[in-house]
Chain A
Amino acid sequence: MDLLSILSNSFRGALGPEAAIYALAAVGLNMHFGYTGLLNFGQVGFMLVGAYGTAVPVVAWGLPLWVGILIGIACAIVLALLLGVPTLRLRGDYLAIATIAAAEVLRYIYRSEWAEPLTGGVFGITQFANDFYDLNPYSSRLDLGWLSFSPTALWVMTVGWGATFLACGLVALLIHSPWGRVLRSVREDEQAARSLGKNIFSYKMQSLIIGGVLGALAGSLMAINTQALTPDVFMPILTFYLWTIMILGGASRIMGPVVGAIVFWFLLTFLDSFLRQIIGDGLIGLESSDVGAIRFAAVGLGLMLLMMFRPAGLLGNQKELRLDVR
């Protein structure tokens, strides 16, 4: 067993482009749930429209990539309005149902034969992000001996983590303003906020849009990172990874999603390479095809333990959680 290579893989997972992308999407989810109390179970839908919004204009209409990214953002705003206008005046569970359904419906629409001329249907589309890689300032690998990143990975990581930290900074500024105070009061008690003259519908809508746009940006990056896009990347389970990340790091903490994403991806890649190694060494009677399932089961177990011993998440304020609801 090669512990160094396991660790090297784990760190690559924890800091790599995927972790950054998931962190960014989870920052958006944290805006929804952590600060506004919105139950969004379809963050993956925002990622999907962001990703296709970015890729389709490039491939189908030959527009530059940055225009695509803007279109992705616009799609997320439209989606937020479509989801929010009918449900945000109702009880919270309606948004939950609407988002989970919308994300699935969107996936089916984008993979349908009818949409194939634009989205490539089940086969997807590729090679749309060359504009992005042309800008890559890195020409050689980053090599720390036991850990190394390719120039393209480095470039995506730079942009991904950069965007994530910018998003965290923006969220921090917003949350620590009177605007954020209203948002948090909506999370605590809508009626009380309303009795003090706050238009809670408007605040919930703004939050849904901001978090959705962050999800769409994460989707764009996800498309750019792989240069290949198929609808089935955007399965509902992805939303639940984002929830896991947010809860792991601590909901309603600015850096919660970042810490959550790093820990989540570290654990995932650690378990993956650890299991593969011991299976390869014949130490355990499992097939390597079982690895995928087992590592998620282990992450689930870890999450359960976390909830038992640190219920507010790694960064969470444990005191907040002890406030009973009277």
Chain B
Amino acid sequence: MSGDQERHELEPDVLAERAELVDAEHDLGEQELSVGARRAAEALTGVAPEPGVAKPDAILVADGVVRQFGGLTAVDVEHLEVQRGTITALIGPNGAGKSTFFNLVSGFDSPTRGKWSFNGTDITQLAAHKIARRGMVRTFQLTKALMRLTTLENVMLGATGQGGESLWRAPLRFLWRAQERDNVTRAEELLERFNLTHMRDEFAGTMSGGQRKLLEMARALMVQPDLVMLDEPMAGVNPALTQSLLGHIQALRDEGVTIVLVEHDMDVIMSISDWVICFAEGRVIAEGRPDDIRRDRAVIDAYLGARRSLKEDPQ
């Protein structure tokens, strides 16, 4: 403790600031729900915390989705609904099938059986790029930066409905110059938001692992999706930036975007999600508000572990 004391004396400002920040975060978590959070909470009142429960306004509905790899059943979801305008977290042990479920619904993998719909239309057979165009965009657990494109180009790629992406219009610059300029403006805003402005004209391949996570998220948002699926967006991102990322994610929800994210950091999950779905061995074993999940027997057994839950839950 005396060592800490000395350090404290050396840099009192920084430490005090940090302490304030922690307090502020705490307050943020407890009072003053944002518009989106309140809206989400209202929408989800009365929804029972049980696996496969129906939601009042579901943007994504999966039915009997099964994916087998040889003898292994990676995903076996009987029924799952994601409420529009919420931050829904998918949790579960490693190998529970969260990423595989992402791959299935986003069209990157085909199911053994089952179907799902997005915004009310069945998209089971739809190709991945068409699903993305309909407004459901995903990021990857292992980031996929486009190495030899600049950071700006990476983000620009996300823009939809680009006239200059057709072969016939491409050589005729005057046909798409104005649109390109608008897209650059929007891309620069996103870079700003994710602290990547200084990397604007660098190759994405020169980025650090954490920066790539940010880039991927910025790129996904460039699509202006209705639903974003983020596969461990916070992995490898430093704490300060995680805080601001969480802020961005909440701001997105407040704008009406639905967010599904996979995350292993329970503090993150508990602080931002409106609804939590727990996977284990491919199945949905529990669903509910963060507080329900924290106390759920099945989740504690399969994922949180008994000790961890004690520490998490003072009551």
Contact = CB atoms under 8 A, between A and B. Distances in A.
Nearest to A174: B170
B194 interface: no
B144 to A, nearest CB: 4
A174 B157 CA distance: 15
B253 interface: no
Contacts of A32: none
A179 B176 CA distance: 11
Given A178-B176, A181-B157, A195 B128 contact: yes
Interface in B132-162: 132-133, 137-140, 144-149, 153-154, 156-158, 160, 162
A177 interface: yes
B162 A178 contact: yes
A283 to B, nearest CB: 47
A196 B165 contact: no
B306 to A, nearest CB: 37
Interface residues of A, number: 32
A324 B203 CA distance: 11
Interface stretch (A18-26, A197-205, A213-221, A263-271): A197-205
A185 B164 contact: no
A192 interface: yes
Contact of B157 (A177, A187, A193, A326): A193
Contact of B137 (A189, A196, A319): A196
B209 A179 contact: no
Contact of A196 (B130, B148, B223): B223
B162 to A, nearest CB: 5
Contact of A192 (B144, B156, B160, B209): B144
Interface SS of A by simple majority:
helix
B180 A194 contact: no
A198 B139 CA distance: 15
Interface residues of B, number: 44
A319 B203 contact: yes
B148 A179 contact: no
A323 interface: yes
Contacts, number: 112
A182 B170 CA distance: 11
Nearest to B154: A185
Contact of B149 (A173, A188, A326): A188
A214 to B, nearest CB: 14
A194 B164 contact: no
15 contacts: A174-B170, A179-B166, A181-B157, A185-B153, A189-B144, A192-B144, A193-B146, A195-B106, A195-B128, A195-B137, A197-B133, A197-B137, A198-B157, A199-B127, A252-B148
Interface of B: 106, 108, 127-130, 132-133, 137-140, 144-149, 153-154, 156-158, 160, 162-167, 169-171, 173, 176, 180, 203, 205-206, 209, 219-220, 222-223
Q: Which 9 A-B pairs have the closest CB atoms?
A: A323-B205, A178-B164, A179-B170, A197-B132, A177-B170, A192-B144, A188-B146, A173-B171, A197-B133
Interface of A: 170, 173-174, 177-182, 184-185, 187-189, 191-200, 206, 252, 319-320, 323-326
Given A178-B170, A195-B108, A199-B127, 18 more contacts: A174-B171, A177-B171, A178-B156, A178-B163, A178-B176, A179-B164, A179-B170, A182-B157, A184-B148, A188-B148, A188-B149, A189-B144, A195-B128, A195-B139, A195-B220, A196-B223, A197-B223, A325-B205
